[in-house]
Amino acid sequence: MRFGFFAEHIEKTEYGEKMKAIVCEAFGPVDDLRVKDVADPVAKPGHVVVDVQAAGVNFPDGLLVQGLYQMQPDFPFIPGNEVAGIVCEVGEGVSHVKEGQRVIALSNLGGYAEKVAVKASHVMPLPDPIHVNEGAALVTAHATAHHALKQRAKLQPGETLVVTGAAGGTGLAAVQIGKTMGANVIAVCSTEEKLALAKEYGADVLINYKDKDLKETLKEVTGGKGADVIYECVGGDTFHACSRSMAWEGRLLVVGFAGGEIPKFPVNLALVKGYSVMGVFWGSFTQHDPKGFAENMQELLTWYVQGKVKVVVDEALPLEQATKAMTKVMNREVKGKMVITP
Ligand SMILES: NC(=O)c1ccc[n+]([C@@H]2O[C@H](COP(=O)([O-])OP(=O)(O)OC[C@H]3O[C@@H](n4cnc5c(N)ncnc54)[C@H](OP(=O)(O)O)[C@@H]3O)[C@@H](O)[C@H]2O)c1
């Protein structure tokens, strides 16, 4: 999939007001990215321009600029798919938000900048108690976990939920949302420090998969039954162990491959245990079901205000240090989420 709309506004730089943004001009290492002056975006009909106060950093951002993600935008483009800030311009036909209002938005691209234009349907008021850094980081990782557990797995109270990469952005969100939905949550991480964080946010059982055989340990902690639902975002050997640890009628959620290897799957495993392998692509869900996306976000914000879910911000860095933030995510060094504050 190629997108051209950011190329259009960057080319007009010399004619418009200027803003600072991280611009990707060719696929390459994260360190090649630079802050540039580009034209301010304008609010076309049905769009809103947000003065970005915080942009969430997600694992796919690093893949995107290297040309390793399933979506490949036209050059030049600005990465960053989730933001929080203040509405500074409202396009024709937009009535649910006003200039000066605090919002969160799913920008798809363009978030690593001082301003971004977003489809109005993807902009939501940000309730007062929520800090912008947390609001920005709430959109993608939490919403992916929410969609996966609600619409895909249809997680039920009392079920066993295993989360891999459980101290990462979307993993830690899955731990909290799984608890909120009444599951017994088993967190799988690579260090004791990460497991302690997963425990603090609700995990009932902790497994360090660097120290223990994951398949054998999952068998042991589920009393031989296996897991009802596994939220799998690491891939490779971790996926293989999970695919051999499912309960009858279980749901194995394919969320991501942070370890780098996309696993091959012997389908007889699903046949023998009567379980389902379910793909999760939250970005596509927001396009296919905008109403479901808006309802999910409302529920998530309500849970947030009620204190049932939280965003753990590992570090907030200025726009000039965006590459540092992205590298920290790619290097497996983040607990919770990184945020950029333009
Ligand atoms: N399907 C969707 O709609 C969707 C949406 C958002 C994200 N994702 C995907 O979900 C995955 C996780 O995203 P995230 O934003 O939560 O990332 P993150 O914050 O970086 O967390 C990823 C976790 O994966 C584990 N991991 C194992 N091997 C790794 C490696 N070689 N490099 C980095 N991490 C490694 C790490 O936990 P341990 O150290 O504990 O192993 C890390 O905490 C990514 O593959 C991302 O593309 C998918």
SS3 category, 188: strand
How many Cβ atoms from other residues are within 10 Å of residue 204's Cβ? Answer: 17
Tell the residue nearest (CA) to atom 21 of ligand 1: 168
**In contact, 38 and 5? CB cutoff 8 Å:** no
- CA atoms 324, 330, 335, 338: torsion sign: positive
Domain boundary assignment for the chain: 15-140+289-341, 157-280
| Cα 133 to ligand 1 centre (Å) | 20
At 16 the pLDDT is: 58
3-state secondary structure of 54: strand
Structure tokens at 127: 């309730």
Q: How far is the CA of 234 from the centre of ligand 1 (A)?
A: 6
5, with CB counted inside 10 A (0-12, 13-18, 19+), is middle
Residue-level pLDDT, tens digit, the chain, 342 residues: 443 334 444 444 344 579 999 999 999 999 999 999 999 999 999 999 999 999 999 999 999 999 999 889 999 999 999 999 999 999 999 999 999 999 999 999 999 999 999 999 999 999 998 999 999 988 999 999 999 999 999 999 999 999 999 999 999 999 999 999 999 999 999 999 999 999 999 999 999 999 999 999 999 999 999 999 999 999 999 999 999 999 999 999 999 999 999 999 999 999 999 999 999 999 999 999 999 999 999 999 999 999 999 999 999 999 999 999 999 999 999 999 999 999
Q: Among the atoms of ligand 1, which is closest to the Cα of residue 260?
A: 31
Whole-angstrom CA distances from 44 to 5, 18, 36, 89, 124 are 12, 18, 23, 10, 18
DSSP state of 126: P
Most ligand 1 atoms within 8 A of CB, residue of 57, 58, 59 to mutate: 59
Residue 227's Cβ-count burial label (10 Å; 0-12, 13-18, 19+) is buried
User: Could you tell me the pTM of the whole model?
Assistant: 0.93
Q: Please give the biggest Cα pair distance in the chain.
A: 67
CATH superfamily for 157-280 is NAD(P)-binding Rossmann-like Domain (3.40.50.720)
Q: Alpha-carbon distance 145 to 174, whole Å? A: 5
81: number of Cβ within 10 Å: 25
Q: Which amino acid is at 310?
A: K
Alpha-carbon span 255 to 281, nearest angstrom: 7
| Residue pair 150/292 in contact by the 8 Å Cβ criterion | no
At the top level of CATH, the class of 15-140+289-341 is alpha beta
Residue with the nearest Cα to atom 8 of ligand 1? 256
